[in-house]
């Protein structure tokens, strides 16, 4: 019988590896699209596809919520964060009609940095990956704000804020 702690550690490593693989696919798809199209077109195609995937996930994950359930949506999002939130550790600010996350670590960004991606391409890839969050949260009708990583942004990653649609 396998030790449950060792198994959990192995699964956490495999999960992190799967997210890094996703990062590598984004990076390679952007390279291939950019070789065929201009950089803006390549980014736009990826953003549209990834945003659509976020919308698909929202249909299942957040169907019970409405545009004035920002905090509940945020809490539901945190409740399913991979590896109990260890994969995407966040600083969280909560209010009655709002929730905000400052993501301190992202396995996608980590993989791109380890692959030697330069800062401008890193910022582009972060914008592309952020399209998933936009699709996911905007599909609920809440107000969504996201600041993805850019040079000078610091060591963290994106900052996401969800606010009730009718909030002042």
Domain for residue 55, yes or no? yes
Mean pLDDT of the chain: 94
* Number of CB atoms found within 10 A of residue 138's CB: 17
- What is the C-alpha separation between 90 and 156, in angstroms, rounded? 9
Whether residue 1 is predicted with pLDDT greater than 80 in this model: the reply is no
Cβ atoms of residues 130 and 76 within 8 Å? no
Cβ atoms of residues 50 and 133 within 8 Å? no
Question: What distance lies between CA 20 and its chain's CA centroid?
Answer: 13
Domain for residue 168, yes or no? no
Q: What is the CATH number of the domain that holds 78?
A: 3.30.1380
Tally of structural domains, the chain: 1
Q: Calculate mean pLDDT across residues 65-92.
A: 93
Domain for residue 152, yes or no? yes
- What is the C-alpha separation between 137 and 51, in angstroms, rounded? 10
Domain for residue 94, yes or no? yes
Q: By CB neighbour count within 10 A (0-12 exposed, 13-18 middle, 19+ buried), where does 31 fall?
A: exposed
| Residues 36-71 pLDDT 10s | 999 999 999 999 999 999 999 999 999 999 999 999
Q: Calculate mean pLDDT across residues 128-145.
A: 97
Domain for residue 143, yes or no? yes
Give the residue numbers spanning the domain of 35.
Answer: 4-163
Q: E strands, the chain, where?
A: 90-95, 98-103, 143-147, 159-163
Domain for residue 83, yes or no? yes
Domain for residue 149, yes or no? yes
pLDDT at 85: 85
pLDDT at 84: 85
Q: Calculate mean pLDDT across residues 21-31.
A: 97
């Amino acid at each position: 019988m396998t030790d449950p702690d060792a198994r959990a550690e192995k699964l956490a490593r495999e999960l992190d590896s799967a997210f890094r693989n996703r990062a590598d696919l984004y990076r390679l798809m952007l390279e291939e699209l950019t070789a065929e199209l201009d950089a803006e077109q390549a980014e736009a195609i990826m953003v549209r596809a990834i945003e659509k995937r976020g919308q698909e996930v929202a249909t299942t994950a957040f169907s019970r919520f409405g545009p004035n359930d920002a905090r509940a949506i945020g809490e539901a999002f945190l409740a399913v964060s991979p590896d109990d939130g260890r994969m995407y550790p966040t600083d969280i600010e909560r209010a009655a009609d709002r929730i905000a996350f400052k993501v301190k670590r992202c396995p996608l960004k980590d993989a791109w940095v380890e692959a030697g991606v330069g800062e401008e391409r890193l910022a582009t890839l972060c914008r592309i990956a952020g399209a998933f969050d936009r699709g996911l949260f905007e599909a609920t009708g809440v107000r969504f704000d996201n600041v993805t990583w850019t040079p000078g942004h610091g060591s963290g990653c994106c900052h996401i804020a969800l606010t009730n649609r009718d909030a002042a």
